[in-house]
């Protein structure tokens, strides 16, 4: 009887590869690379607006290009953050119920804060 590549204990417990580690790793690397130019552009906007009055800042950040950069940065940043915190939870929390609750909270908080940030940018962009 062949056991395959799994250790006998893993075979009994049903543990082993979750089959999505490479995808998770790939998403984290792609989002990290995507954040570099987005962050540099966003930082350039912020630095250029130092000392400007409130109405001018609202005008500049409400332009289509600035809004698009900020929205992309928010989406990529919060997705990257969710992936990173997920890895920490999966690696260091060993109680299944606690792990489940923390993973749920991680997803929920990243989504809520990311949506709130995106809403702020959309309010500037749409002039409401």
What is the tens place of the pLDDT at every residue in 48-61? 999 999 999 999 99
HEC string of 57-102 equals: HHHHHCCHHHHHHHHHHHHHHHHHHHHHHHHHHHHHCCCHHHHHHH
Cα 118 from Cα 120, distance rounded (Å): 5
What does the buried/exposed string (b/e) look like for 1-24 if buried means 16 or more CB atoms within 10 Å of the residue's CB?
A: eeeeeeeeeeeeeeeeeeeeeeee
Cα 107 from Cα 101, distance rounded (Å): 10
Confidence of residue 125 (pLDDT cuts 50, 70, 90): very high
pLDDT in tens, 76-88: 999 999 999 999 9
pTM score > 0.85 for this model?
Answer: no
**Which CATH number fits the domain 21-126, given the four candidates 1.10.3720.10, 3.40.50.300, 3.20.20.150, 1.20.1300.10?**
1.20.1300.10
């Amino acid at each position: 009887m062949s056991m395959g590549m799994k250790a006998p204990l893993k075979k009994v417990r049903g543990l082993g590869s979750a089959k999505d580690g490479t995808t998770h790793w790939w998403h984290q690397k792609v989002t990290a690379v995507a954040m570099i130019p987005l962050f540099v552009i966003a930082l350039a906007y912020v630095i250029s607006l130092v000392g400007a009055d409130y109405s001018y800042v609202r005008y500049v950040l409400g332009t289509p290009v600035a809004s698009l950069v900020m929205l992309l940065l928010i989406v990529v940043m919060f997705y990257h953050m969710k992936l990173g915190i997920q890895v920490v939870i999966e690696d260091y929390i060993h109680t299944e119920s606690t792990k489940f609750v923390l993973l749920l909270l991680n997803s929920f908080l990243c989504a809520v804060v990311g949506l709130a940030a995106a809403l702020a940018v959309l309010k500037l962009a749409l002039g409401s």
